[in-house]
Amino acid sequence: MVHIGFIGLGIMGKPMAKNLINAGYSLVVYDLNGDAVKEVADAGAKAAACISEVAEACGVIITMLPNSPHVEAVVLDEGGILDNAAKGSLVVDMSSISPSSSKKMEAELVKKGMRMLDAPVSGGEPKAIDASLAIMAGGAEADFDEAKPLFDVMGSSAQLVGPIGSGNICKLANQVIVAANIAALCEGLMLAKKAGADVEKVFHAIKGGLAGSAVMDAKAPMMLSGNTKPGFKIDLHIKDLGNALETGYATGSPLPLTAGVMQMLQILKSDGRGQCDHSALINYYEKLADTLLY
């Protein structure tokens, strides 16, 4: 049986790996968190002691890590994928990182006869668990076709956007839109609250109209109940918006809304809420308005 490598078993990676196991794939997994490795191994994967063990055993290696430096270390550093994977291996990075980092790694992998897709995801932990992630990929069409059966297990949609780096460009655009959407939702709900309306009824009244969105459906109930359990952490959204702003500066793309929401998230982080769900952006508005939403 062909083995699939999976490196990175965090909030997103762990359920994604489990879904692949449940679909019948043979996984070799690694993470710095030994408890996460044991949990996925108990579900049917083989636990690896190091990155090289994954790279040597697997022709397809999926990475799901926090940011560009972590992925580059796994792929490029001594003892990593570049040093140990066989010629022809396919690296599928499903992390959300800088497009320039994806291009850098792919260039080095190609020198050794390997291939790469950047294929970040959208949907957060709930959609990772129920295998309904949106997957946006960059790379060669043949490589995308090879990885598509895996994507179909982990997500409800998978789209090849363009050459390497395009997946992460698409993800940055996604995160910009999500951030601005959450901020607008906070402003609208707080306006309703301060003006004396029943905020929950306002939510139900508008969610089916033009203002309605997947973001509203997922995040308004959390805001209305004071639930900040992370499906997607503020710290991670700060990371994504940082990559978006960096890419915007490099390409001359104006991102004034993104910069504004970034400052709001940074204030929440300084208040100790970095590990909260990004719907906790409502806490910023509650602080400004001196009013609790719920």
**What tokens were used for 6?**
């999976």
- CA 127 to CA 31: how far, in whole Å? 21
Q: How many residues does the chain have?
A: 294
Asked if residues 109 and 116 have their Cβ atoms less than 8 Å apart, the reply is yes
Cross-strand pairs, 46: 28
What are the Cα distances from residue 271, in Å, to 190, 218, 280, 292?
20, 24, 11, 16
**What tokens were used for 162?**
């363009």
* End-to-end CA gap in the chain: 53
Task: Identify the sign of the CA torsion 13, 19, 20, 22.
Answer: positive
Asked if residues 118 and 138 have their Cβ atoms less than 8 Å apart, the reply is yes
- CA 165 to CA 151: how far, in whole Å? 18
CB contact set of 168 (below 8 Å; sequence gap of 6+): 96, 97, 98, 99, 101, 102, 118, 120, 138, 243
**What tokens were used for 206?**
């508008």
Asked if residues 5 and 57 have their Cβ atoms less than 8 Å apart, the reply is yes
Whether 104 sits among the annotated catalytic residues: the reply is no
Q: How distant is the alpha carbon of residue 278 from its chain centre?
A: 13
Given 18, 127, 171, 193, the catalytic residue: 171
The DSSP letter of residue 112 is T
Asked if residues 138 and 25 have their Cβ atoms less than 8 Å apart, the reply is no
Annotated catalytic residues are 171
